[in-house]
Amino acid sequence: MTPDDTPTRYRITVVCLGNICRSPIGEAVLRTRIEAAGLTASVCVDSAGTGDWHLGHGADPRALSTLDAAGYDHDHVARQISASWLDDIDLLLAMDEANYRDLQRMLARSGASPALRMMRSFDPALSDLPEPHPDLAVPDPYYGGPEGFAEVLQMIEKAADGIVDDLLGGRLGA
């Protein structure tokens, strides 16, 4: 409990490169799955990028179209993760190996200790792969067409289901 007697929520931050494609999709899907599981009071989800190219911008229109077509709510403004956030995060979800390594370096410099995982490591079909295995990467769809965004959504949905299962099963700290 916090000093004001309100429970502390388990905080998950989904991280990609620019915070306009993969991580906003991850945030929207995971937030929806957490809400459906009745975990909103104990778990919160946000997202950020490791780079600053798109700060203050909305998500890529193709990401938004993909989320809309699948029925996900979204409200997003791109942000860049910084070391000052890390003490307040419980779980960092990296989208690819580069994001994972960037976050590892940030964690080493900060001394903070949130768990760092590849998002797809929660996909039951991939859970036996060591992190950060290349097969755990969610590919960046930015330079492709809408089919890349649909593929990213499918990958993230499988991983999000695994995360919620772990939250409900007590394997994550919510």
CA angle 161/165/171 to nearest 5° reads: 135
**Domains along the chain?**
10-168 (3.40.50.2300)
3-state secondary structure (DSSP) of residue 69: helix
Instruction: Give the C-alpha separation, 156 to 160, whole Å.
Output: 6
**79-127 tens-digit pLDDT:** 999 999 999 999 999 999 999 999 999 999 999 999 999 999 999 999 9
* Beta sheet of 10-16, edge-to-edge order: 43-49, 10-16, 91-94, 115-118
Global pTM? 0.94
The pLDDT confidence band at residue 173, using thresholds 50, 70 and 90, is confident
- Residues ≥6 apart with Cβ < 8 Å to 7: 1, 41, 42
The pLDDT confidence band at residue 3, using thresholds 50, 70 and 90, is very low
Query: Residues in the chain, how many?
Result: 174
**25-81 tens-digit pLDDT:** 999 999 999 999 999 999 999 999 999 988 889 999 999 999 999 999 999 999 999
Q: What is the pLDDT of residue 174?
A: 60
Residues taking part in catalysis: 16, 22, 140
